[in-house]
A and B are shown apart, each in its own frame.
Chain A
Amino acid sequence: MRLLSMTGLALVAGFGLSAAGTHAAQAPSPAGGTSTSSATPAEDQAASELKEHHRHHHDGGVTKFIAMSLDTLGTDDAKRPQIEQLQSDLHAQMAPGREAEQSLQLELADGITAGTVDTVKVDAAIARLTTAADTEQAASLDTLNKLHAILSPSERAALVDKVQAHWEVWRQVNHEEQPGGRERGGRLAELTEEVSLTPDQVTKISAALHTAMAGLSDKFDPKKGEAHVHAFSAAFAGRSFNAKAVTSNANAHLASRGATRMAIFYETVTPLLTPEQRTKLAAELREHANHRAAA
C-alpha cells in the first residue's frame, strides 16, 4: 500500500515537472537577432552601485533625483548640450548641500579611523546638511522650468519615471531595508565584503544595528517623500509646468533622515571593527566624499 502511494506521488511529480519543462519550451522565445545585451532580473553592477550611492548621498532629495535622472534620459544629440548645461546648473544649485554632506562624511571617516565617532560634531553636520537641502528646491525653480520647456512629452515621461525609480531605490535602501539585516545586497552584506567581517562580527553588528535603529526617535516618514515625488511627477508630465506650483518639499526630510541613518550605521559598527578594518572603511567613505568634491 505504502509502495503504491509512493509510486503514485513519484508519477504525479514526474508528470508535473515534465509539464513545467514543456511550458518553458513553449514560452515566448527571446526576440530573434543577435542581441548585444539582455539584462536579467539579477542585480548587476550598475544596480548595486546605485544602491551604494543612495545609501551615502542625501543632500538634494528629490531635486537630486531629477538631476540624476538626466544621466540616462537619452535625449537626441541636438538637445544634449543644453540638457548637460541644465544638469550642471542643478548641481551648482545643490552645491551647499553637497559641501555640507562632504564635511559630514569626512567627520565620520575621521571618527572611524580614531575608533570613536564624535556624535556632537556629526549631529551639527547633519543639521547644516538639512538646512542646505531645504533651500535647494527654491534655487532650482528656473532650471526645472527650462528643463520642462526643452523636453518632448515622451522625454518628460521618461524623466518622471526615472525620478520615481530613484525615489523607490532611495526609500528601499534608507528606509525599507531592515537595519542589521543580513540579506544579499544589503548594507551589512556589503560591509562584510568590504572589510572582511568575521561571522562573529556580523552577528554582533547585526544585533547592534537593530538596537541602534530601533531607538531612533525621529523616524523617516515615506509619505512626505511620496507627496513630493507625486506632486513633481504630476506637474512635470503635463503640457505646461511651473516649478513654483510644486509646493511639496521633502528634500530636508530626506537629507536629514538619510544622513542620520548613515551616521548611526558608522557610529554603531566602528567600535566592533579591528583597526585595519576601520582604516579600510574610512578610506572608502573618504572616496565618497572626495569624488563629490571633484564633481
Chain B
Amino acid sequence: MRITERLLRKSEDLMNRSLVTMLTGAVVVSCLAAAPARAGLNVQIFPPALFRATTTPVYYQGHPSYWYGSRWHYRDGRGWQSYNEEPRYLRDYRTQHETQRHYYGRDSEHHR
C-alpha cells in the first residue's frame, strides 16, 4: 500500500514537473514573440543572395529594387533600405508584371 502511494506520488510529481517545464517554455516563447511589439520594432528581411542572383530588379530613382517579402527593397551607400510606403511607380509595375526569375536547372535552356 505504502509502495503504491509512493509510486503514485512520484508519478504525480513527474507530471507536475513536465507541466511546469512546458508552461515555462511557453512563457519564454510568448515573451520573445511579444517583445518586438512592445519595443515598437519592425523586423525587416532583405532579399538574400539566392534571390538577388536569380531575380531581375526594377530600376527606380537610380536604384535596382527587389520585391521581396511583400516589400520593395533597394541598396544604397548605407546598406539595404525598404520603402515603408510602396511608390506608385513600383506598385504599378508590380501589378502589371510578374517578377522575373532565372532558372539554372539542368533542363533549363539557360544552363551553361
Contacts and interface: CB of A to CB of B under 8 A. Distances in A.
Interface of A: 2, 5-6, 9-10, 12-17, 19-20, 22-23, 26-28, 30-41, 43-47, 49-53, 68-69, 71-74, 91, 98, 153-155, 157-158, 161-162, 164-166, 168-169, 172, 284, 287-288, 291-292, 295
Contact of A292 (B51, B103, B111): B111
Interface of B: 16, 19-20, 23-24, 26-27, 29-31, 33-34, 36-38, 42, 45, 47-59, 62-64, 67-72, 75, 84-86, 91, 94-95, 97-108, 110-112
Given A19-B34, A31-B91, A36-B94, A74 B58 contact: yes
B64 A161 contact: yes
Given A36-B99, A50-B54, A16 B31 contact: yes
Nearest to B85: A31
A32 B91 CA distance: 8
Contacts of B29: 13, 16
Contacts of A288: 106, 111
B26 to A, nearest CB: 4
7 contacts: A6-B20, A33-B86, A33-B94, A74-B64, A157-B75, A165-B49, A287-B106
Contacts of A31: 70-72, 85-86, 91, 94
A2 B63 contact: no
Contacts of B99: 36-37, 39
Interface residues of A, dominant DSSP: helix
B111 A15 contact: no
B103 A165 contact: no
A19 to B, nearest CB: 4
Given A31-B72, A73-B56, 4 more contacts: A13-B23, A39-B99, A161-B64, A284-B106
B40 to A, nearest CB: 10
B69 A40 contact: yes
A166 B53 contact: yes
B30 A17 contact: yes
A211 B39 CA distance: 47
B111 A291 contact: yes
B69 to A, nearest CB: 7
A49 B55 CA distance: 13
Nearest to B26: A13
The 4 closest A-B CB pairs, nearest first, are: A16-B30, A23-B37, A295-B112, A20-B33
